């Protein structure tokens, strides 16, 4: 006779115990706060404010703020990093749970007339998770931290890419305006030379030379038009919409009003070490590998409890246990130590790379600043004075028209050089910001 009541009570007891065990160890799967941490971490290291409510209509001028907001909302790599955060949060929840318990049952059919066991129920649970749970959770939390840092770092990198592409469009448009002005001077010079040739005051050779100058200036205009179009395509690609077909215009207010400070190399190096998220990611890997040392070779124990009932109405509960001999334990510990050492070396290498990037970016920034702020101002001041004197001389009838046009063209060439230097300064400033972690905030003055 089977004792269904006793077996039913045992099953309910096992189920209740498992339920209490699982609910007590479970961790939330909601990664909302982790995503918010990544967003806030990036925002605190950005040199510009990001307004996610901004939208972009191609029929309206594209501002730098709208370009950045659009890029953050549509960047596939950034969304990929956010997806990894959700995955890592789920892995923490998984690591906090015990190993999956095993339940088995069987019933016997007597064929020899003796009192066999008509019913057998057994549950088995690995116990190693009891002493490895803290290390497993710590390691999983470090992988989550890495994904949060990686997502924030991607945001900083994306913003820098958009700002660079936007600056290239802006300054290439300025280059195009200079090319069109130079083309106008070339045409005017050709017309004057032609009139002088008709009056017998210029040779056919001079007319041919002026005509060749017009052709070269037309070529330069087409080349600058291409540069503007290609830089717009790069901007669209950085924003995550390379398939945008409609024409658009941009309006820049970032570089026209920005002033550039001077920075000390040692201060920038210190800021980079504390501020760069890719370095923080490397440090999190070291912490992860350190936590994994504790679970490299744990004792593998299992516990079990069974219930037997035979045909003679005799019942028995059979607790038991097992231990697994880890023959590869030493190898596992060696592997874990090697992974930790590799993570430490990777961090050291990242530190050295950071130092190189900061020093290189600072050198480029200082050179670009000297050219754009000091030398170019002296050049344009000198040429403007020269042009003013040329105009005064021309109005007095003491300067040939072609000589005045030549001086105007010299001023335009200088302005083209200044635009190039201003672009180089803008790109160098962005590069230096990225090299120190995204922003100069927190730098000791």
* 239 vs 260, residue with greater confidence: 239
Give whole-number Cα distances, 227 to 172, 184, 232, 425, in Å. 7, 20, 9, 19
* Length of the chain, in residues: 445
| 113 lies in some domain | no
Longest CA–CA span in the chain (Å) reads 137
Question: What's the rounded mean pLDDT across residues 229-258?
Answer: 86
* Residue 266 to residue 273: CA distance in whole angstroms: 11
The CATH number of the domain holding residue 207 is 1.20.1600.10
Are the C-beta atoms of residues 60 and 146 closer than 8 Å to each other?
no
Query: Closest Cα partner for 13 from 97, 117, 123?
Result: 123
Quote the pLDDT of residue 17.
43
Pick the residue with more confidence: 445 or 124? 124
Assess if residue 380 is contained within a domain. yes
**Is 112 a member of any domain?**
no
What global pTM score does this model have? 0.81
At 340 the pLDDT is: 92
Tell me the pLDDT band of 117, cut-offs 50, 70 and 90: low
For 56-103, what is each residue's pLDDT tens digit?
Answer: 888 888 988 899 999 999 999 999 999 999 999 998 888 877 777 888
- List of E strands, 210-293: none
Q: Tell me if 110 is assigned to some domain.
A: no
Answer whether residue 211 is part of any domain: yes
* In the chain, % of residues over pLDDT 70: 89
What pLDDT shows up at residue 113?
A: 56
Q: What is the pLDDT of residue 12?
A: 47
Greater confidence (7 vs 86) lies with: 86
CA-based nearest residue to 235, from 81, 66, 365: 66
Q: Can you give the pLDDT at residue 47?
A: 81
User: How confident is the model over 378-387, as pLDDT tens digits?
Assistant: 887 888 788 7
Asked whether residue 198 carries a pLDDT value surpassing 70, the answer given is yes
Looking at residue 364, what is its pLDDT? 95
Q: What's the total number of domains in the chain?
A: 1
Burial class (CB in 10 A: 0-12, 13-18, 19+), 349: exposed
pLDDT at residue 58, rounded to an integer: 82
Confidence of residue 333 (pLDDT cuts 50, 70, 90): confident
Instruction: Determine contact, residues 157/434, Cβ cutoff 8 Å.
Output: yes
Residue 431 lies in a domain: yes
Q: What six digits make up the tokens of 13?
A: 């007891």
Share of the chain above pLDDT 90, in %: 40
Residue 94 structural domain: 4-105+118-435
Mean pLDDT of the chain: 83
Interatomic CA distance for residues 393 and 409, integer angstroms: 17
Residue 433 has pLDDT above 90, yes or no: yes
Task: With respect to residue 443, please indicate whether it lies within any of the assigned structural domains.
Answer: no
In a domain, 419, yes or no: yes
3-state secondary structure of 249: coil
Residue 422: is it exposed, middle or buried by C-beta count within 10 angstroms (0-12/13-18/19+)?
buried
């Amino acid at each position: 006779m089977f004792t269904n009541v006793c077996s039913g009570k045992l099953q309910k007891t096992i189920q209740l115990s498992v339920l209490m065990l699982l609910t007590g160890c479970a961790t939330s799967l909601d990664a909302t706060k982790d995503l918010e941490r990544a967003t806030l971490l990036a925002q605190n290291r950005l040199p510009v404010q990001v307004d996610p409510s901004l939208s972009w209509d191609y029929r309206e001028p594209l501002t730098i703020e709208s370009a950045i907001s659009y890029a953050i909302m549509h960047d596939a790599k950034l969304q990929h990093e956010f997806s990894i955060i959700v995955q890592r949060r789920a892995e923490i929840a998984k690591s906090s749970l015990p190993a999956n318990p095993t339940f088995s049952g069987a019933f016997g059919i007597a064929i020899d007339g003796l009192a066999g066991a008509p019913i057998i129920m057994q549950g088995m649970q690995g116990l190693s998770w009891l002493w490895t749970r803290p290390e497993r959770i710590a390691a999983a939390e470090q992988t989550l931290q890495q994904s949060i840092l990686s997502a924030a770092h991607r945001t900083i990198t994306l913003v820098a890419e958009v700002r660079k592409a936007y600056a290239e469009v802006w300054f290439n448009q300025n280059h195009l305006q200079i090319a069109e002005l130079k083309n106008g001077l070339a045409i005017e010079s050709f017309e004057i030379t032609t009139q002088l040739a008709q009056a017998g005051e210029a040779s056919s050779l001079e007319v041919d030379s002026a005509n060749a100058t017009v052709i070269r200036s037309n070529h330069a205009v087409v080349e600058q038009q291409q540069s503007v179009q290609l830089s717009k395509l790069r901007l669209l690609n950085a924003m995550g919409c390379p398939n945008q077909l409609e024409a658009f215009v941009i309006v820049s207010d970032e570089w026209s009003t920005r002033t550039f400070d001077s920075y000390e190399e040692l201060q920038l190096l210190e800021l980079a070490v504390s501020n760069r998220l890719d370095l923080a990611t490397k440090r999190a890997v070291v912490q992860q590998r350190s936590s994994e040392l504790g679970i490299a070779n744990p004792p593998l124990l299992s516990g079990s409890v069974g219930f037997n009932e035979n045909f003679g109405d005799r019942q028995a509960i059979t607790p038991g246990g097992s231990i697994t001999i880890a023959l590869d334990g030493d190898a596992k510990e060696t592997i874990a130590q090697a992974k930790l050492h590799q993570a430490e070396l990777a961090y050291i290498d990242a530190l050295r790379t950071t130092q190189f990037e900061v020093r290189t970016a600072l050198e480029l920034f200082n050179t670009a600043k000297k050219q754009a702020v000091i030398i170019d101002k002296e050049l344009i001041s000198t040429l403007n004075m020269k042009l003013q004197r040329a105009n005064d001389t021309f109005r007095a009838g003491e300067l040939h028209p072609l000589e005045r046009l030549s001086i105007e063209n010299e001023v335009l060439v200088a302005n083209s050089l200044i635009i190039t230097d201003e672009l180089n300064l803008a790109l160098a400033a962005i590069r230096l910001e990225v090299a120190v972690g995204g922003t100069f905030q927190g730098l000791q003055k």
